[in-house]
Amino acid sequence: MAASAGRPGRFLVPVLGAAILLALFAAVLIGPTALSPERVLAALVGGGTAGDRTVVLDIRLPRALAALLVGVALGTSGASLQGLLRNPLAEPGVLGVSACSALFATATLYFGLAPLGSAVLPTAAIAGALAATAGIAFAASRTGSALTLILVGVGLSSMAGAAMSLLTNLAPNPFSLADMVTWMLGSVANRSFHDIALSLPFLAGGLVLLFGSARGLSALTLGEEAAAGVGLDLRRQRLAVVAGAGLATGAAVALAGVIGFVGIVAPHLVRPRVGHDPARSLLPAALLAGLALVLADILVRVAPTTTELKLGVVAAIVGAPVFIWIAARRRTLHA
Amino acid sequence: MPELHLDGVSARAGRAAPLALRDVSLTIGPGELVALLGPNGAGKTTLLRAALGLIRCSGGSIRLGDRDPARLTPRERALLVAYLPQRRPLGWPNRVRDLVALGRFAHGAAPGRLAEEDAAAVERTLDDCGLRELADRTADTLSGGELARVHCARAFAAEAPMLLADEPSAELDPLHQYRILGLIRRFVDAGGGALIVLHEIALAARFADRIAWMRDGRLLGDGPPRSALTAEALGRCYGIEAEVEWRGEHPVVALGGPPDQR
């Protein structure tokens, strides 16, 4: 059948899936405590010495999985928001969701609420993302314009950024200042399965909403009016994507703080390989973003620096130039 | 086959906007191509959007078959009417076949994931619209005329009984205008009903079964081109002086300026 011949991106998902498995294994293999692959494999299936199991299962594996999940959440959110807003620059960061989420998280640090319980900070991060999401959903229900949504997001982002600067400015002591900065820079160091379990329900809920509404993103390529004409329920589509991206991003920020660019760059790289179809870019973008963060986190751990680099910093240092390169290339294409 | 029936419809383009449609009554049946002509701002687009149920009427009633289009779900509506809006911005440089496949959205299809029936409809439409050679090209490599054909094909792929198109031939050269209208004519000859907003008087006369004149939100009148296309109608509708002479089936229309500028 001609329709299926040469289907673009056929090998993308299997290749990325295999690469993720390899990267995860590398992540549990590599580290300051030298372990042979045999010992790592034994520990992974519950064998080996208690020390091996602690290193592999309690330290390295949850950290690598956290990086993967954060990448998946940000990649899916970015690809979905770009499809919804028909704009390759849309991303949880652009819409202010990450910033609001981080603001709520840092507020718990500033007001000294974080030590009250391990669930306080993640809950605040998710509440912040949902608050931003609700604001955007409200704006989305009142306007038909994607541009207005982006501008609302930019405003929200600036507002949260200013409030966060204010909190760091007024930080009561160097310790809470350091905590807050860590949160803004983004990191998966010392994450446990308990941390992952706290975020996972929100992450899963967000992904269900996003993947469930993916088909509508394809229709939106025609423009909102024509998309409604071919049978898309625009309002429901907007709400699903905004709520889904809010939940997934909130869960990601709860787990790792603010990590930028991966949500813009991963969908960008994937899109030409899936015929520029937003729906088909969702899964590969999620996997690529997850893979990128697992690899970046390995880099962070092996880099010979006196204090460990923050994952968000490395993601930005690698991601920002790639983003600029793509944006510049895009312009010359259209000229 | 459903009939589109507007009865005394009044509507606004926006919540606080003035009435853009005043007491408009019009019926489009199967196998009928109605061209809607009128100056900019006459309410032609608003009429299409009201007929689709995309905006609420403030008066009168609209029936699509035996349903009120404003009460249809987007999917139900898309199965009854294909809609080609005036502005057709593409978000991404998709492949032609994928864009045409979006016409099958209401049938549950998605690009790259087409059921047999949907894939067959897409391939059929690609052939009908002469897009076979372009099927694997991306939209950013197409000319304006080719792109217009892709949008038409997207609308036809839905295989809905009714087509509403807003200036489907805008910004095209005469040959491509003819090709687009030819495609729509073929859809109508196969039993479809079409309401088309046009600015090209000669095209309307050549292809339409009926011409409907619109001005200031009102329908001035409608009828077959032979009786509806007169110098007097052009004057009333556009406010210009004109001469119309029929040579067999084809009208020759000479347009003058507004009466006070001669």
Interface test with B, best of A213, A225, A282 (most B CBs within 10 A): A225
- For residue A250, the one-letter residue type is G
A13, A145, A230, A268: best to mutate for the B interface, most B CBs within 10 A = A230
Chain B residues inside the 8 Å CB shell of A222 = 88, 90-91, 99, 102, 154
The CA distance from B97 to the nearest CA of chain A, in Å, is 8
Of A1, A221, A334, the CB nearest to B91: A221
Alpha-carbon distance of A300 to A284, in angstroms, equals 24
| B216-251 pLDDT tens trace | 999 999 999 999 999 999 999 999 888 898 888 888
Which residues in chain A have Cβ-Cβ distances shorter than 8 Å to B95?
Answer: 8, 275-276
The alpha helices in chain A, defined as continuous H runs, are: 12-29, 37-44, 50-53, 61-85, 97-110, 120-142, 146-169, 174-185, 193-212, 214-220, 224-229, 234-256, 262-270, 278-302, 311-334
Residues of A in contact with B124 (CB under 8 A): none
Number of H helices, E strands in chain B: 9, 11
Rounded to 10 degrees, the C-alpha dihedral A183/A187/A191/A193 comes to: 100
Cite the DSSP H helix spans in chain B: 44-52, 74-80, 96-101, 116-128, 144-157, 174-189, 201-207, 225-228, 231-238
Cβ–Cβ < 8 Å for B92, A221? yes
**Closest chain B residue to A221, measured at CA:** B91
Residue A107: C-alpha distances to residues A98, A123, A250 (Å) = 14, 12, 15
CB contacts under 8 A, A 255-274 vs B, are 271, 274
Which residues, 6 or more positions from B240, have their beta carbon under 8 angstroms from its beta carbon?
B234, B255, B256, B257, B258, B259
Q: What are the CB-based long-range contacts (under 8 Å, 24+) for A171-180?
A: A171/A110, A172/A110, A172/A112, A176/A109, A176/A110, A176/A112, A179/A109, A179/A114, A180/A106, A180/A109, A180/A110
- Give residue A118's pLDDT: 78
Instruction: Using alpha carbons, select from B204, B196, B209, B195 the residue that is nearest to residue B234.
Output: B204
Nearest to A228 among B54, B90, B123 (CB): B54
Residue ranges in chain B whose pLDDT is less than 50:
none
Return the residue matching tokens 């009928």. B32
- Chain B contact for A5, CB < 8 A? no
Contact by Cβ (8 Å): A128, A105: yes
User: pLDDT, tens digit, for every residue of B64-105?
Assistant: 988 999 999 999 999 999 999 988 888 899 999 999 999 999
What pLDDT was estimated at residue A330? 59
Report yes or no for ipTM above 0.95.
Answer: no
pTM of the full structure: 0.89
Q: How distant is the Cα of B141 from the closest Cα of chain A, in angstroms?
A: 11
Task: Pick the closest to residue B49 from A226, A215, A325, A240 (CA basis).
Answer: A226
Minimum distance, in Å, between the CA of residue A43 and any CA atom of chain B: 42
Distances, alpha carbon A156 to alpha carbons A92, A105, A149, B38, in Å: 11, 16, 10, 44
Work out the minimum CA distance from B199 to partner chain A, whole angstroms.
21
Q: Distance (Å, rounded) from C-alpha A238 to C-alpha A243?
A: 8
Residues forming beta bridges with residue B245, ordered by sequence position = B252
Beta carbons within 8 Å of B244's beta carbon, 6+ residues apart: B229, B230, B231, B234, B251, B252, B253, B254
Say which of A218, A231, A279 has its CB closest to residue B106. Answer: A231
Residues of B with Cβ-Cβ distance to A333 under 8 angstroms: 140
Which residues, in sequence order, are bridge partners of residue B32?
Answer: B193
Interface residues of chain B, partner chain A, Cβ below 8 Å: 52, 54, 73-75, 77-79, 81-85, 87-95, 97-99, 101-103, 105-106, 110-112, 114, 119, 122-123, 135-136, 138, 140, 154, 158
Looking at residue A334, its pLDDT comes to 39
Q: Write out chain A's pLDDT in tens, 335 residues.
A: 333 434 556 789 999 999 999 999 999 999 888 888 999 999 988 888 888 899 999 999 999 999 999 999 999 999 998 898 888 878 887 778 898 999 998 888 888 887 788 788 888 888 898 888 778 777 766 766 667 777 888 898 899 989 988 988 888 788 778 878 888 888 998 889 999 998 999 999 999 999 999 999 999 999 888 999 999 998 899 889 988 998 999 999 999 998 988 998 999 999 999 999 999 999 999 999 999 999 999 999 988 888 888 999 888 888 888 777 766 765 443 33
Whole-number pLDDT of residue A141: 65
The identity of residue B110, as a single letter, is: A
**Pairing status of strand B210-215 against strand B218-223:** antiparallel
* Residue/partner pairs of A89-92 with CB below 8 Å, 24 or more apart: A89/A150, A89/A264, A89/A327, A90/A150, A91/A260, A91/A263, A91/A264, A92/A129, A92/A245, A92/A249, A92/A252, A92/A263
Q: Which residues on A lie below 8 Å from B140 (Cβ)? A: 333-334
Residue of B79, B85, B112 with shortest CB distance to A277: B112
CA of B119 to nearest chain A CA: how many angstroms apart? 7
What are residue B26's DSSP bridge partners?
B6
> A-B interface: how many C-beta pairs under 8 angstroms?
110
